[in-house]
Structure 1
Amino acid sequence: MPDLTHKPQPRTLGLTDITVGIPSSLRNPKTVKEPRPTALWNTLEFKLYYVACVVVIPLMVWIPVSLSNPSHPNFQMFKSKLSEGWLFGRQIDNSDGQYRHFRNNLPILTYAMIAYTVIKFLRVHAFKVDPYSNIYLIPINLAFSIIMVLALHGTSILKILAILTINYLIARTCKGSKVGPVLTWIFNGGILFLNSTYQGYQFNTINPALAFLDKYQGIDPRWDIRFNITMLKLVSFNMDYYWSFQHVDNPEVDINKLSDKQRTTISHPQDLYSYMNYISYVLYVPLFIAGPIMTFNDFIWQHRRPKDITQVTVIRYIIRFLISWFTMELVLHFMYVVAIKDRKAWMGDSPAQISMIGFWNLIIVWLKLLLPWRFFRLWALLDSIDPPENMVRCMVNNYSPLGFWRSWHRSYNLWITRYIYIPLGGAKHVFLNTLLVFSFVALWHDLTFRLLAWGWLVSLFVIPELAVRYLLPASQYGKKAWYRHACAVGAVLNILLMMIANLVGFVIGTDGIKFFVARLFGTVEGLQFLVFACCCIFVAVQLMFEYREEEMRRGIYHRC
């Protein structure tokens, strides 16, 4: 008799593997009631879209490369911003300070990651205490954390520990009282403001007798800049501890098989909200510098019941990181758009050229944030900790402001949702809460008008999407032939607005955007290019729509 037992087929790589996988987004396609529409990849419509891509995408690459050519009239304006490169004898545009700091220190960080991982590996396999729990590793995590913060920030560790201790005392003193969350937010908001105002403080301003401590400020004296990430962890601990007093055990929940969401929302016994666990969480080495952001509950659950992180998962992640890193190197060696933007070396350029300067600057912003987040998450994975993934999708695979925000800084979005959006009422007051959330996000990044303007612009640009979703719900019109194309037109507007908002917030500011807008809308050539660009974006959006449909056919349901 033949074996009729179902054997799962080995999983093969497909188109949807371009997007980072998130376990919480996976569903069994057989359990989904609504069948997905037939794939459009082989239709005449999409074959025309492929032709457009073959023509337009090379142009989008060639334009910034040509602007970076030494023979270009504006080259001398930004030449001094370039450095010696290592690819094909070309110079490199390493002028972005934020990425330069990471890129130049990547070898040291890699050595530190390897040393940390090897030491932890030897510790685990030499003195394994509990085969089902890693709680016993908390003290060694703490020791590593203290050493790292001392090396990074020197004597400023005293300031950091003082702030952490005060925050801890607020939580432990207030316990389940509603005063706790209020004091937590006031204290942490005040610390962010004071850090920005006094730039980390000096010991001699506290007491002249302590001036000698200012001589030992570590590798990175500006501890206050990195404290914004730390502040999120302080709020997380206090709020998780506060909610633990309202927690009721559910006997139906198997703590050995918790989902990502359950590890965040299910509280621990009171004794696990200890000072040692708190400091170990806040200063956890792999995630201290740049995140991704984990909640306290999740961090402790991953020690109590470690996730099964396979070698294959880690190896694939290393390969993904290396591909992303090399992509960034290619861009910086062939497209000097950051230097062009900084020196405003765009005089005489056409609207198409100016738009590509802005577009590729946004790509570089995406990559310069993606790489540190991928690196430090890789470090955590090697340590058997699985923090939330940031930047689930490529920057150019977004058409919705809400979806873009969910996929961009995903771990921060999860933090915002748990600690701000839901406590404020969530979707009951969606616009007001969105305005408050993005105002907080902007001020959290930096207390500047430019980022506050970005927050307000994003909040404003969300309104059209919310209005259209209300007036033309997919549940009612989704099967109409015209609906997909109408959504694509709206998505074109969304993308243009998102590009404007992010150029203002992270690239050229409010003054720079005026020049870009004037060139696009104030000239006939600019308007002609704008129409052409909108047609190209329309094609791209149709491909994005079908890509998401392909994901859902495979049981992948991202909310972005």
Structure 2
Amino acid sequence: MSSLKDGFKHVGEFFSLDTLDTRLAPSANSAKKQNVIKRASTPSRLSSPEFKFYYLVFVIVVPLMFKAAMDASNETNPNFPRFQHLLSQGWLFGRKVDNSDQQYRFFRDNFPMLCALIGIHVSLRRILTPVLSISKRSYFDFAFGVAFLVGAHGVNIAKIGFHLTVNYVIGKFIKDKKTAIWATWIYGVSTLFVNEWYGNCKYGVSFMDHGFKGIIPRWDVFYNFTLLRMISFNLDFIERKNKLNGLEEKSDQLVNLDDRERLVAPLPLKDYNVLNYVAYVTYAPLFIAGPIVTFNDYVYQSNYQQASTVKDYRRIFLYLLRFVFCLLVMEFILHFMYVVAVSKTKAWHGDTPLQISMVGMFNLNVIWLKLLIPWRLFRFWSLLDGIDPPENMIRCMDNNFSAFAFWRAWHRSFNRWVIRYIYIPMGGGGSFRILNSLLVFSFVAIWHDIELRLLMWGWLVVLFLLPELAATVVFSRYKEQSWFRYLCGLGAVLNIWMMMIANLVGFCLGKDGTLQLIREIFRTFSGVSFFVISSFCLFVASQVMFELRESEHRTGVDVRC
């Protein structure tokens, strides 16, 4: 019996939040930790008759969900000939693999090369740092980053260099604070449009136009992340310069700063130089897709004090195992559910509402995994190299019931970046909370891509935040009532439906596919029956999610998502 308990303990540790990121562990402040514990409902409901019924629902429904997705996308489906040309030869049990998503295909096809690059980079750091007696890590990052950029983009480094130079000049040489901030934002956002329209234009010089374009000729694909770092450097410098405003710098303040304090680390003004700027922007482990570290945080960890987590090799090894687990889950889905190919060809004619909805849902899971897997590989690389960036995905996509909480957990480092540089400067969650959210999601949509459907997605997200915000204001005073948990469950069902619709429009089925799904649901008796049954299942799932959050609270964990 004790061995079984130990086994569950190890599994719990493996899937725990603080295995992903120590920022998610209980607060070191005992008073804050106790306040979180006091908020939790006691005792646990996980062994109650109510939850045993919920477990039975899970045992029946989850396999049916997998079966429906497989029936809608496998060889037995009449629509299979419409999308089979998008499938490639796989490696699992002789099955084909759905490698049709362009973004993930790039990562999957280049995975061996990325692993080799990680080995080269980490080895060179370990070998050259003591040999050359490099006093600051950013010196190595500068040299490797420039070489990495040349190998990745070849002569197109000139276009990136142009943007870096203009941004640096704006931040360093415009004296007026407001003018510098506005110029940084105007230039930054305008470059997204300029790159979209003219990013592949020719130089007009023969050796540049026909020269080496690097392993990745499309330099603009990764520019969006570069832009976030460019803006971070400027705004961190402007903030620091105006905070000092003639005051004396004190280097003794740069000791034992925690994650939040590093965002506003009191760096000397001399650290905001060209070398650190280029080293930060081109930092190889995080250059392609992040996670995003602010300039202050990067320089502090590089040149002053590394986070304790980068020396905890057992934790880093567990993080690697979590990455491998997610990688294998993705491979299973791509080999047994060809939902991406189905959505690309809109090959769902004659499918049931359950099958169409599962095509949409597993598409969203693929989107979650195709982002999570590269981010975790790049964060693992960064941890090995001695820099601890925030974890980007801390919840499974299916473990969400709140729109606000969902966006706190999805692309978390970008969320923190947006809050620091847009949401809080615009007033945060005050009187203009919805207007600020609209501004944030408009920027997020444009940053992702210059497409109307993504702008529609951003506005839909904000629109769908309103019911949750209103319900929270109206019903929060009843939270001590026994029925409040069930009322929250109904609200969670509504939230989940709205979040799925917004993301299906923006990233999966598109407007036409989503409208067809909704029509299929409501125009037939079987469709309405599916909607009622699935809503009940979502209610059950929400109750389990509530209790999982409460279980975290009992240990002092409160990640607000």
- Normalising by structure 1, what TM-score? 0.93
**Alignment correspondent of 1:463:** 466
Question: Aligned partner of 1:311: which letter?
Answer: Y
Alignment CA distance shift 1:527-1:404 (3 Å): same
1:189 CA displacement: 1.3
Matches within 5 A, 1:66-105: 66-105=71-110
SS class of match (1:472): helix
CA distance in 1, matches of 2:250, 2:287: 35
SS class of match (2:397): coil
Alignment CA distance shift 1:35-1:183 (3 Å): closer
Question: Aligned partner of 1:451: which letter?
Answer: L
**Alignment correspondent of 1:20:** 17
Matches within 5 A, 1:304-453: 304-308=304-308, 309=310, 310-428=312-430, 429-453=432-456
CA distance in 1, matches of 2:177, 2:255: 31
1:402 CA displacement: 1.1
**Alignment correspondent of 1:181:** 181
**Alignment correspondent of 2:5:** none
- Long gaps (5+) in structure 1: 1-10, 131-135
CA distance in 2, matches of 1:234, 1:129: 25
Q: How many residues are treated as equivalent by the alignment?
A: 540
Alignment CA distance shift 1:286-1:129 (3 Å): closer
**Alignment correspondent of 2:152:** 152
Q: CA RMSD in A?
A: 2.0
CA distance in 1, matches of 2:386, 2:29: 30
Alignment CA distance shift 1:424-1:332 (3 Å): same
CA distance in 1, matches of 2:420, 2:210: 38
Alpha carbons 1:28, 1:555 under 8 Å: kept: no
1:433 CA displacement: 0.4
**Alignment correspondent of 1:45:** 50
Question: Aligned partner of 1:443: which letter?
Answer: I
- Long gaps (5+) in structure 2: 1-7
**Alignment correspondent of 1:272:** 271
Matches within 5 A, 1:154-233: 154-175=154-175, 177-204=177-204, 209-210=205-206, 212-233=208-229
**Alignment correspondent of 2:511:** 510
- Of residues 341-350 and 172-181 in structure 1, the stretch that sits farther from structure 2 once superposed is 172-181
Alignment CA distance shift 1:13-1:556 (3 Å): farther
Question: Aligned partner of 2:227: which letter?
Answer: M
- Normalising by structure 2, what TM-score? 0.93
CA distance in 2, matches of 1:147, 1:292: 21
CA distance in 2, matches of 1:517, 1:301: 50
Question: Aligned partner of 1:116: which letter?
Answer: H
CA distance in 2, matches of 1:557, 1:89: 44
1:479 CA displacement: 1.8
CA distance in 2, matches of 1:35, 1:492: 23
Pairing 1:292–2:291 present: yes
Identity over aligned pairs, percent: 43
**Alignment correspondent of 1:238:** 234
Question: Aligned partner of 1:115: which letter?
Answer: I
Question: Aligned partner of 1:266: which letter?
Answer: A
Pairing 1:543–2:544 present: yes
SS class of match (2:157): helix
1:28 CA displacement: 5.7
SS class of match (1:256): coil
Question: Aligned partner of 1:118: which letter?
Answer: S
**Alignment correspondent of 1:554:** 555
The C-alpha deviation readout for 1:361-385, integer Å capped at 9, x for no partner, is: 0000000011110111111111000
Pairing 1:525–2:526 present: yes
Alignment CA distance shift 1:29-1:245 (3 Å): closer
Alpha carbons 1:69, 1:75 under 8 Å: kept: yes
1:176 CA displacement: 5.7
The C-alpha deviation readout for 1:170-192, integer Å capped at 9, x for no partner, is: 11102462211011011111111
Alpha carbons 1:247, 1:266 under 8 Å: kept: no
- Of residues 27-36 and 333-342 in structure 1, the stretch that sits farther from structure 2 once superposed is 27-36
CA distance in 2, matches of 1:109, 1:117: 12
**Alignment correspondent of 1:36:** 40
Pairing 1:110–2:115 present: yes
Question: Aligned partner of 1:220: which letter?
Answer: I
Matches within 5 A, 1:459-498: 459-473=462-476, 476-498=477-499
Question: Aligned partner of 1:290: which letter?
Answer: A
